[in-house]
Structure 1
Amino acid sequence: MVKLNPNGTRFVTLPNGYHLWTQTQGRGQIRLMTLHGGPGGTNEVFENFAQELAPYGVRVTRYDQLGSFFSDQPDFSDPANQKRFLNIDYFVDEVENVRQQLGIDHFYLLGQSWGGVLAIEYALKYGEHLKGLILSSMIDNLDEYLVNINKIREKMFSPEDVAYMQQVEARHAFDDAKYQALVNELGEHYLHHAADPQPRHLISTLATPVYHHFQGDNEFVMVGALKNWDRRADIHRITVPTYLTFGGHETMPLTAAERMAKTIPHATLHVTPNAGHGQMLDNPTDYFSHLGQWLTQTDAKPPLSAN
């Protein structure tokens, strides 16, 4: 009988027959699972989580969602696959399938950006398996995000550049060189906000069919399936301890984060200074020290009553 190391890399086979890349690292009693952003991004933003959280006794599991770079990639040009997989319900149930396959229970779930959407939905549907929830740079609706991202655009760029971008978007000419340069400038200031924060590849690792379906062409063009996602009326039903962490120089509106901290019954809000949307890359010292402290303090407390 083959025995696998409980830590390390393994592929899990989902009930639908597809395979997902997973990796578990670290030692300790605190179990943390991470959900990457995008949509269609990769797990690589979490590569050092086990190392950084080792002083706090945290064991970290990360994986690539279906369609993402290291996992199986269905043919999303097939309408049947689009209907079957490109919806929030599928990806939430995928989290539960991964949890079951890896034998994880009573764990902490961390969602970054799009992963935060899935984490909120998981907490509402499968909250009995959670000891705590961590939302990293994600609010509970997209309306407030869209208002904020366009305010950022108006502040960053001249009226002429904003008008130019809007004209390009009206024509759907998203490969326009000047437009792409302006979008990249947003990324350097608000998404990354550090000199060289991103994992590097020689080719793009973004699952563009997934990103385009849910998001649109870029951060300004929210025309995809996520556009109307809104859980403001429901987040009060999240009863597990919840840690909200946002960058101080963030694409997500901090006013929404403050509202969430007041609405979710057992929530703690932290703002990472000198950091954008990718806080863990921009200011890792602050990000990991506060996250680790919250995890250990929360885990040491008796479980909250279901009532």
Structure 2
Amino acid sequence: MGVDFLAKYKANGTRFITLDNGYHLWTQTTGSGDIHLMTLHGGPGGTNEVFENFGERLAPYGVTVTRYDQLGSFFSDQPDFSDPENRKKFLNIDYYVQEVEEVRQKLGLDHFYLLGQSWGGVLAIEYALRYPEHLAGVILSSMIDNLAEYLQNVNAIRDSMFNADDLAYMHDVEARHTFDEPRYEALVSALGEHYLHHQADAQPRHLISTMGTAVYNYFQGDNEFVMVGALKDWDRRGSMKDISVPAYLTFGGHETMPLDAARRMADEIPDSTLHITPDAGHGQMLDNPDDYFKHLGEWLQGQQA
């Protein structure tokens, strides 16, 4: 076996990497193409599983895909976030951006494409602004450049979905902070079924919850409507013009992110392409995979020309 084959064999597959802070992250690399893509999952506190088939679906376009679970997420180490020192050290955007950079270094990636889905898009924007020298391009999948417009949009969606009685009940629950009431949970789930996942195809399922709840609650709050966490004031409007690498923006046609903001971002980023995935919600790659992967793969391929 040649040296090149051995190097590629060792680079691919599933392995844990040890961060300089001593914690371990689950990673997996699949594919053998010359285009290198790393994915950042949503949440915060979600998992990499929406990217399970990216290596297979993007193989025809010559793409090697690396995915990993961020610190505090299901397959990776989960610090005790009840410890205020851990919350201070790890639960901030700067930590997670630096984590992306350390993962890149430990996996030996350079001149690669970075795809961020939802919360992962926050990290992808921040990484592109701080470390453009390591990127060939950035992909923002269902993420805009601020949370204020998102909150306005998702609450407008709620107002349009539910009747006055349901809305009054939801606001009352939120004022009382009794989010585990069955009727309330059912109403919140209805949003997910229509806008987070617009199609009826099966979504990743487990017998237990895989959500990093402590991470989600700290950054987000209790749910998509009640955003009182540390992420609520994140706003990169005005910075999109400073993204100096090619950017691909992809959004579902029926999702929670405001498409007007997506179009504004596409106008502001110097080298950008915007695609709206039809018949898809926030989880575009699950709702309409044929369209999602075709356009993403063609964009990645086109960057090599």
* Fold similarity call, TM over 0.5: yes
CA offset digits 1:214-264 (Å, max 9, x no partner): 001111111100100000121110010000000000100000000000001
Query: How far off is 1:193 after superposition?
Result: 1.0
1:213 is aligned, of 212, 215, 218, to: 218
- Partner Cα separation in structure 2 for residue 163 and residue 248 of structure 1: 28
Matched residue, 1:63: 68
Matched residue, 1:150: 155
- The correspondence of residues 160-179 of structure 1 with structure 2, limited to 5 A, is 160-179=165-184
- The correspondence of residues 138-287 of structure 1 with structure 2, limited to 5 A, is 138-287=143-292
1:6 equivalent to 2:6? Answer: no
Quick check: 1:149–1:220 contact (8 Å CA) kept in 2?
yes
SS in 2 for 1:299: coil
Amino acid at match of 1:282: D
Matched residue, 2:38: 33
- Partner Cα separation in structure 1 for residue 116 and residue 279 of structure 2: 21
Query: How far off is 1:299 after superposition?
Result: 2.2
CA offset digits 1:284-307 (Å, max 9, x no partner): 00000000000000122xxxxxxx
Amino acid at match of 2:240: I
- Partner Cα separation in structure 1 for residue 20 and residue 79 of structure 2: 14
SS in 1 for 2:274: strand
CA offset digits 1:72-106 (Å, max 9, x no partner): 00000000000000000000000000000000000
Computed over aligned residues only, the root mean square deviation of the Cα atoms, in angstroms, reads 1.0
1:23 equivalent to 2:41? Answer: no
TM-score by length of 1: 0.96
CA offset digits 1:137-165 (Å, max 9, x no partner): 00000000000001000100001111110
TM-score by length of 2: 0.97
Query: How far off is 1:135 after superposition?
Result: 0.2
2:138 is aligned, of 118, 133, 139, to: 133
Unaligned runs of 5+ in 1: 301-307
1:107 equivalent to 2:112? Answer: yes
- The correspondence of residues 70-89 of structure 1 with structure 2, limited to 5 A, is 70-89=75-94
- Partner Cα separation in structure 2 for residue 111 and residue 204 of structure 1: 22
- Partner Cα separation in structure 1 for residue 201 and residue 103 of structure 2: 32
Identity of aligned pairs, percent?
A: 75
CA offset digits 1:97-144 (Å, max 9, x no partner): 000000000000000000000000000111110000000000000000
- Partner Cα separation in structure 1 for residue 158 and residue 270 of structure 2: 34
- Partner Cα separation in structure 2 for residue 127 and residue 180 of structure 1: 41
Matched residue, 2:3: none
Matched residue, 1:303: none
Query: How far off is 1:197 after superposition?
Result: 3.6
1:292 equivalent to 2:300? Answer: no
- Partner Cα separation in structure 1 for residue 131 and residue 211 of structure 2: 28
SS in 1 for 2:66: strand
Amino acid at match of 1:165: M
SS in 2 for 1:179: helix
SS in 1 for 2:131: helix
Amino acid at match of 2:287: D
Quick check: 1:197–1:282 contact (8 Å CA) kept in 2?
no
- Partner Cα separation in structure 1 for residue 199 and residue 304 of structure 2: 32
SS in 2 for 1:252: coil
CA offset digits 1:160-185 (Å, max 9, x no partner): 11111011001111001111000000
Amino acid at match of 2:291: D
Quick check: 1:247–1:278 contact (8 Å CA) kept in 2?
yes
The size of the alignment, in residue pairs, is 299
